[in-house]
Amino acid sequence: MRVEQIAVFLENKSGRLADITAVLAEQKVNIRALSVADTADFGILRLIVDDVDKAKSTLKANGFTVGLTNVIAVEVADKKGGLAKVLKTIEEEKLNVEYMYAFVNKSGEDAVLIFRFDDMDKAIESLQRTGYKILSGEEICSL
């Protein structure tokens, strides 16, 4: 199961992140998870939202450069060693992680790890076979 993620390229300039969140808020798009990576000149904002089409069209209409990427959302136990356990599985399965980020809805419950792998099909098959639950975009938005 893959989740659509929005990637927004932004200038490394004060207020750009606020502009994006304000535009999405005006359109009542709910951000469920996000990650920001930056360089000296630009940043990449990765978002999982409750309405991908509306978010994409709204951001484009407001002059932002937007792309869509597929990621995998993996549910893991929110306890000591939970991340280490899934990363050990990823190592054993010889999966290559391009990037990842995470969020926790409520401490002590499950955490969600968002992964981009170089071979998404192999990653889904491997993680499911080893007992991990892969979440859909709808499941993430319902958390």
How much is the pLDDT for 42? Answer: 85
Among the listed ranges 51-60, 84-93, 105-114, 123-132, which one has the minimum average pLDDT value? Answer: 105-114
For residues 19-30, give the mean pLDDT.
Answer: 96
Q: Which two three-digit tokens encode residue 23?
A: 């535009």
Confidence at residue 143, expressed as pLDDT on a 0 to 100 scale = 78
CA distances, 91 to each of 66, 103, 111, 123, 127 (Å): 32, 21, 20, 11, 11
Query: Does position 107 have pLDDT exceeding 90, yes or no?
Result: no
pTM above 0.75, yes or no: yes
Provide the pLDDT confidence category of residue 128 given band limits of 50, 70 and 90.
very high
With a cut of 90, say whether residue 61 has pLDDT above it: yes
Domain range 71-142, CATH architecture: 2-Layer Sandwich (3.30)
What is the average per-residue pLDDT within 58-64?
Answer: 96
Strands 42-49 and 3-11, by their bridges, are antiparallel
Question: What are the φ/ψ torsions at residue 45 (nearest 5 degrees)?
Answer: -100, 125
Is the per-residue pLDDT at 108 higher than 70?
no
Say which residues have a Cβ less than 8 Å from residue 124's Cβ, sequence separation at least 6.
Answer: 1, 2, 72, 134
The full set of domain ranges for the chain reads 3-69, 71-142
Confidence of residue 95 (pLDDT cuts 50, 70, 90): very high
Report the range of poorest mean pLDDT among 19-23, 40-44, 95-99.
Answer: 40-44
Q: Do domains 3-69 and 71-142 have the same CATH topology?
A: yes
Q: What percent of the chain has pLDDT over 70?
A: 99
Encode burial over 117-135: b for 16+ CB neighbours within 10 A, e otherwise. beebeebbebbeeeebebb
Which one is predicted more confidently, 38 or 65?
A: 65
CB 3 within 8 A of CB 114: yes
Question: Which CATH fold would you assign to the domain 3-69?
Answer: VC0802-like (3.30.2130)
Instruction: Please provide residue 70's backbone torsions phi and psi, each rounded to the nearest 5 degrees.
Output: -95, 135
